[in-house]
Structure 1
């Protein structure tokens, strides 16, 4: 890993937060609909939604049922890594869509590098294991590259690159560091669906100290939701 200060790693990891990347994804869809077609916008949201679904399912499976891979220290894909690796290449592709192909390619590669940097930050900050960050980056990269390949030859409409770039950069600056409790929401859903009174936690799961949290009445589950939301496997 590059020898960077923790402050810088925190700045990098903030680029992958859902409070930033999801508004960026919606802004991308709006610009696609305005300057190109609603079909492109819907395709982008569909691909991203599928990737988010994959991340969510892996997290629910671990938190609710302890489904993971101990040998790889895998408890679910990194949402930060997936979102950043999916969103930033597409954002730069959209900005550079009216430009020559080589500039578009450079933009996509730069976006992928930014997403990989976010994935690395999740490992450095002990929010995720390497396997979780790598798989998150892979799913995000596949999502971005599928959309870019599909949209590569799109004919630009009346959309100028300047307002697109300015709006996306303003969102990035304005929402960087904003936090939403996605891990709490996913944990809440996992406990509701599994019927368990507490989620699986990485350290105890790796040590094999328990295999199935005990079930509890719904009222008791509701009363015990607050304490477990700070987990060793970090945020999204």
Structure 2
């Protein structure tokens, strides 16, 4: 029962669940805020996913350990859940106040923490790998939040210099209601996220592919060669 519960929780951090949520978030940002906000979110998430993949390849190629704990494959579940659910929390926190905001943020923290702990309990990742994943996801959320704040300040400055505020938007923290316009770029972004969910959501496809790339790089001595220099300096 305990293991089954953790398997259910860890699914909340899987790509087939998280990436569609991120696509919906991009659509909401596009409709309720601006194209820059949606593009900023997609860019932050894409950069984080790219970094996770590169670290996985490097870790498998170099067999890196840190403080006697393996660091060969940073947790993608932890990174995705922290980034996507964290970004949703940032957006929702701009709309609600008081106990509802605190309750929602607490729920977001609980989901992210649950996914992270489940990865360790299921022995899919080490504590270090989960910690690195959470850190990467947190950095993506921070970058997204800073970009969103800059856009809000720019909108507030436009209102200050005399431009009329958008309809139904008395404050730059409240986004205007507008018809949903599915622009080609947004459609492409959602399709790419869906393709990523299908491709990288299946661990039996994604992880062996990354390991194969790492093996090729290791054979050709592109990264660390037969023995990782970093691995040789750290305690095993």
TM above 0.5, one fold? yes
The residue aligned with 2:117 is 120
Structure with the bigger RCO (C-alpha within 8 Å, sep 6+) is 2
Taking a change above 3 Å as real, the CA distance of residues 102 and 143 of structure 1, as seen in their structure-2 partners, is farther
Give 1:75 shift.
1.4
Alignment partners' CA distance in 2, 1:11 and 1:48: 24
Kindly provide the CA deviation profile for residues 85-133 of structure 1, in whole angstroms up to 9, marking residues without a partner as x.
Answer: 1111222443454323764454334313311210100000000001111
Alignment partners' CA distance in 2, 1:141 and 1:29: 18
1:208-219 alignment runs, 5 A limit: 211=227
For the 8 Å contact 1:47–1:147, the answer to whether it is kept is yes
Query: Gapped runs of 5+ residues in structure 1?
Result: 161-174, 197-209, 213-236
For the 8 Å contact 1:89–1:110, the answer to whether it is kept is no
TM-score by length of 2: 0.65
For the 8 Å contact 2:29–2:38, the answer to whether it is kept is yes
The residue aligned with 2:58 is 61
TM-score by length of 1: 0.65
The residue aligned with 2:208 is 184
Give 1:24 shift.
1.3
Alignment partners' CA distance in 2, 1:68 and 1:159: 51
Taking a change above 3 Å as real, the CA distance of residues 193 and 24 of structure 1, as seen in their structure-2 partners, is farther
Alignment partners' CA distance in 1, 2:211 and 2:70: 19
The residue aligned with 2:234 is none
Q: CA RMSD in A?
A: 3.1
**Aligned residue pairs: how many?**
183
The residue aligned with 2:175 is 156
Give 1:66 shift.
2.6
Per mean C-alpha deviation after superposition, the further-off stretch among 34-43 and 184-193 is: 184-193
SS at match of 1:76: coil
Per mean C-alpha deviation after superposition, the further-off stretch among 109-118 and 31-40 is: 109-118
For the 8 Å contact 1:82–1:115, the answer to whether it is kept is no
The answer to whether residue 77 in structure 2 is matched with residue 80 in structure 1 is yes
Give the number of the structure whose alpha-carbon radius of gyration is greater.
2
Alignment partners' CA distance in 2, 1:47 and 1:183: 22
Query: Gapped runs of 5+ residues in structure 2?
Result: 153-172, 180-197, 221-225, 229-236
For the 8 Å contact 1:36–1:156, the answer to whether it is kept is yes
For the 8 Å contact 2:57–2:214, the answer to whether it is kept is yes
